Amino acid sequence: MRWTLKRGKKLDLFQYTQRKLTFTYTWLIVLFLALFSIIVSVFFIFMAYHEQSNSLRATMSATENGAVVIPDLENSRNNDMYFFYVLNNKSGEVLAHSDAIPEFSDYSLKLIRGWRADGESFRLRWLPEIHKQQGDVILVSENRVLFIGAQPIMTADGIATIYAAKDVTYYWDILRTLLIVFICILVLFIIVAVKFSSSMSKKAMIPIQQSFRHQQQFLADASHELRTPLSIMNTSLDVIEMENGETITPYSKEVVLDMKEEIGRMSRMVQHLLMLARSDVGSAQFEMGSFDIVPKLRQWVLAFEGVAQKKSITVRKMLPDTLTVKGDPERLKQLVYILLDNAIKYTPEGGKVDVGLDPNPRQWRIIVRDSGIGIAKEDQPRIFDRFYRVEKHRSREEGSAGLGLAIAKQIIIAHRASIALESEPGKGSTFSVEFPPYKQA
C-alpha cells in the first residue's frame, strides 16, 4: 500500500478548528431557516388544498330536487370556478357542462378525457397560454393552474362523473412569491450566518489558544531547562568512571552504564520535545543553503554501519556522483538519521537496508528501503503522530518514545517537501521523501 504525506504548508490546527466551527454554526442556522421555510410552505399548501377541496366537494355534491345543480359559470361572479362537466363514463358523452370561458372548452375537455375516477379524487393541472382565432379576433387565455375534482354519480344513462375545476393561479403565485422571498432571506442569512459564526468561533477559540500557547511555552521552557541537569548527570557519571575505574565493582559498572544509557535516551527525548515545541510556536531555526548532499549522505550512512553490523544488516548506498540541493544540512541529517534508525531498528538480523538519491529534475528524493517487519495498513496514517508507536511493547524496549517520525514530519514541512510510504507487513517499508527542485539564482 502507498500512503502519502502531501507537500504544503503546516496545518494550523486552530484555523482548521475555527473553520469547522464556522461551518457547523452556519449549517445549523441555515438548516433551521430552511426547515422553517419548508414548514410554512407545507402549511400553506395544506390549508389551500383543504380550502379548495372543500369548495369543489360542495360544488360537485350540490343537488336540487334530486338532480345535480349545474352552476352557470359564464354569467357567475364566482371567478374561481373555471369549468363544470358531467361525462358519461361508458360513452364519454358530455351530459351537462358549464364553462367560465366557453371558447376554450375544447382545451378544458382535454384535461379530463381518459380520467375515470373510482371515487372522489383531486388533481392539479397546468393549462398553458392559449391563442385561438375566432373570426377576426384572436382570443388569448393566460397560463392557469387548475385544481380539478372528480366525483362519480349514478344517472339514468348509467355511471357518470362530475368534473369541476377551480382556478388556483392566485394561490400558486402566492406560493411562488413566498418561495422567492424565502430564497432571498436564505441567501441573506447565509452571509450573515457566516460572519456571525466566524465571530462566534473566534471568541470560542481564544481561551483554547491561550491555554495551548501556555502549554507550548511550558514544554519549550521545561525541555530547555532539562538539558542542563541531564548534561551534568552524564558528566558526573564520566567523572565517577574515571576516578574509580580500577576500584569500581562490575555490578556498579553495569549500573553506571545503564544510567548513562537512560540519560542518553532522556536527552534525545528532551531534544525532540524541544524541537517540536519550537516548531509549534514557529521559533524553530532552519538555515537554508545550497550544498552537495552526496558526500554528506555518505557520511551520515557511515555513522549507522556499526549499528547495522551488530545485527548483520547490509546497508547499501545508491548515490549519484553529485547532487546540489537547497536545505538545512543539520535538519536533513536529522531526517536521514531518523529514517535509518527506524529502518535498522525494525529490520531483523541478516536483513537489508538501502539508501538512495533520485536526482530527478522535477523533484529530488531521498529513499530509505528496508526488508523489515513492515507497517500495517491501519497504522500507516498515524505513524507521524507524536508518541504513536506501532508496536508499543517492542518500541519501549528499543528506547523509542514515538517522536522520531513526528520530528521528520516537521523537517519535511519546513522544506516544503512530501513523503510517501509503501509498506506491507512482513515485506518491509520504503520511505521516499520528495523535495522541490533546486533552482540556481
Question: What is the tens place of the pLDDT at every residue in 179-190?
Answer: 888 888 888 888
Quote the pLDDT of residue 175: 87
Asked if residue 34 is part of any domain, the answer here is: no
Give the CATH number, domain containing residue 379: 3.30.565.10
Q: Long-range pairs for 176-179 at CB < 8 Å and ≥24 separation? A: 178/40, 178/41, 178/44, 179/37, 179/41
Give the CATH number, domain containing residue 89: 3.30.450
The closest of 387, 380, 381, 392 to 402, measured between CA atoms, is 387
The closest of 433, 431, 174, 171 to 327, measured between CA atoms, is 433
Longest dimension (CA), the chain: 134
Quote the pLDDT of residue 440: 59
Instruction: Tell me the residue range of the domain where 237 lies.
Output: 216-281
Asked if residue 396 is part of any domain, the answer here is: yes
Asked if residue 21 is part of any domain, the answer here is: no
Window from 41-55, 252-266, 303-317 with minimum mean pLDDT = 252-266
Q: Note whether 299 and 410 are same-domain residues.
A: yes
Angle at 152 between CA 63 and CA 75, to 5 degrees: 50
Quote the pLDDT of residue 352: 92
Whether residue 399 is predicted with pLDDT greater than 60 in this model: the reply is no
- Element (H or E) spanning 99, and its range? strand 94-99
Quote the pLDDT of residue 396: 47
Whether residue 276 is predicted with pLDDT greater than 70 in this model: the reply is no
Mean pLDDT in residue range 318-344:
88
Whether residue 275 is predicted with pLDDT greater than 70 in this model: the reply is no
Quote the pLDDT of residue 395: 47
Asked if residue 381 is part of any domain, the answer here is: yes
Cα 82 from Cα 167, distance rounded (Å): 6
The answer to whether the beta carbons of residues 71 and 97 sit under 8 Å apart is: no
Mean pLDDT in residue range 324-353:
89
**How large a percentage of the chain has pLDDT more than 90?**
6
Distances (CA, A) of 105 to 111, 233, 278, 301: 10, 107, 85, 96
109-118: pLDDT as tens digits:
888 887 878 8
Q: Note whether 134 and 263 are same-domain residues.
A: no
Window from 171-175, 308-312, 397-401 with minimum mean pLDDT = 397-401
Q: Note whether 250 and 269 are same-domain residues.
A: yes
Asked if residue 173 is part of any domain, the answer here is: no
Whether residue 164 is predicted with pLDDT greater than 60 in this model: the reply is yes
Q: Note whether 276 and 140 are same-domain residues.
A: no
- Element (H or E) spanning 207, and its range? helix 169-243
Quote the pLDDT of residue 369: 92
The closest of 201, 135, 160, 178 to 39, measured between CA atoms, is 178
Under the banding of pLDDT at 50, 70 and 90, the label for residue 5 is low
65-88: pLDDT as tens digits:
778 888 888 776 556 888 899 888
Asked if residue 385 is part of any domain, the answer here is: yes
Whether residue 394 is predicted with pLDDT greater than 50 in this model: the reply is no
Distances (CA, A) of 268 to 158, 226, 257: 101, 11, 17
Mean pLDDT in residue range 187-210:
77
Quote the pLDDT of residue 31: 86
Q: Note whether 372 and 246 are same-domain residues.
A: no
Comparison of pLDDT for 274 and 428, the residue scoring more: 428
Cα 151 from Cα 53, distance rounded (Å): 12
**All 3 cell numbers of residue 138?**
384572436
Mean pLDDT in residue range 163-170:
89
Q: Note whether 159 and 240 are same-domain residues.
A: no
Asked if residue 1 is part of any domain, the answer here is: no
Q: Which residues pair with 430 in a beta bridge?
A: 369, 422
| Structural domains counted in the chain | 3
Under the banding of pLDDT at 50, 70 and 90, the label for residue 393 is very low
The answer to whether the beta carbons of residues 353 and 368 sit under 8 Å apart is: yes
The answer to whether the beta carbons of residues 357 and 433 sit under 8 Å apart is: no
Quote the pLDDT of residue 223: 59
Under the banding of pLDDT at 50, 70 and 90, the label for residue 353 is very high
Cα 244 from Cα 253, distance rounded (Å): 10
